[in-house]
Structure 1
Amino acid sequence: MRGNAQGLTKRQLLPATTVSRSRELRQNAGEPERQLWRALRETLPNAKFRRQVPIGPYHVDFCSHAARLIIEIEGDDHATKQGSDASRTCFLEHEGYDVIRFANADVMQNLDGVVTAIGARVAHMQKGRP
């Protein structure tokens, strides 16, 4: 049986505003997110990353369900939200995802290095899978 006792999937159980919120976040993405999105699509197309994916109560910046990998791009304000980031990461890891974080500055100044690190993590996560 797919889904819960009523046959509803996690996606169907999301609040009605989730899809519009995801769309809004994609349309208002910052420059680091836009650059990383382009790089991921060009460099790692088989990882099939999606952006602004709702998982539980959170929207994650980038997610590859196949690799069970989440990428978060952190702005300057994340330094003051380490407690909430820790609980968010705990929830996402409990859902079976590996979470890696990069600062905006890392993406803007060293995009190739960030993509290389992500590619290595994708390869590691998919290792042993057919």
Structure 2
Amino acid sequence: MDATANARRLRQSQTLAEKTLWTLVRAHRLGGFKFRRQTPIGGYFADFVCEQARLIVELDGAAHEGREDYDARRTEALERFGYAVLRFRNERVLADPGGTADDILAALRDARGG
């Protein structure tokens, strides 16, 4: 399966946390920044990417438990491509979507320089 087809499949099978976050960031809703979902970068699929700010937002659910080493290597690889990476647990996004959005917006503004 090629990267485009795989990205499409990932977008169609989003978790509830991914759907929640997408509702917050899609269509320039978060500070006017544009995000894309399930974007291929260096052999990985980043959950949410803002190219303008070079920021990736990753959501970690149950599938990430016990995979902390893999996630750390993945983050390092994405950072080598010039991105900052924010990670949130699915539970945090679902319990506090507004606070999560505030944290992302702060990182976006920092990346933009104010």
Question: Normalized against structure 1, the TM-score is what?
Answer: 0.83
Instruction: Work out the CA distance in 2 between the residues paired with 1:45 and 1:126.
Output: 11
Instruction: Work out the CA distance in 2 between the residues paired with 1:99 and 1:112.
Output: 19
Identity percentage of aligned residues: 39
Q: Which amino acid aligns with 1:119?
A: L
* Pairs aligned (count): 113
Q: Which residue of 1 aligns with 2:84?
A: 98
Deviation at 1:40, TM superposition (A): 1.1
Q: Which amino acid aligns with 1:21?
A: N
Deviation at 1:28, TM superposition (A): 0.4
Q: Which residue of 2 aligns with 1:20?
A: 5
Q: Which amino acid aligns with 1:32?
A: A
Q: Where does the alignment leave 5 or more consecutive residues of structure 1 unmatched?
A: 1-15
What SS is found at the alignment partner of 2:10?
helix
| The one of 25, 38, 43 aligned to 1:57 | 43
Q: Following superposition of structure 1 onto structure 2, how do residues 21-100 of structure 1 map, counting pairs within 5 Å? A: 21-41=6-26, 43-44=29-30, 46-100=32-86
Structure with larger RCO (C-alpha < 8 A, sep 6+): 2
Which range moves more in the overlay, 45-54 or 96-105?
Answer: 45-54
Q: Where does the alignment leave 5 or more consecutive residues of structure 2 unmatched?
A: none
Please identify the structure whose Cα radius of gyration is greater.
Answer: 1
Q: Which amino acid aligns with 1:22?
A: A
Per-residue CA distance 1:41-60 (angstroms, 9 max, x = gap): 26316210000000011001
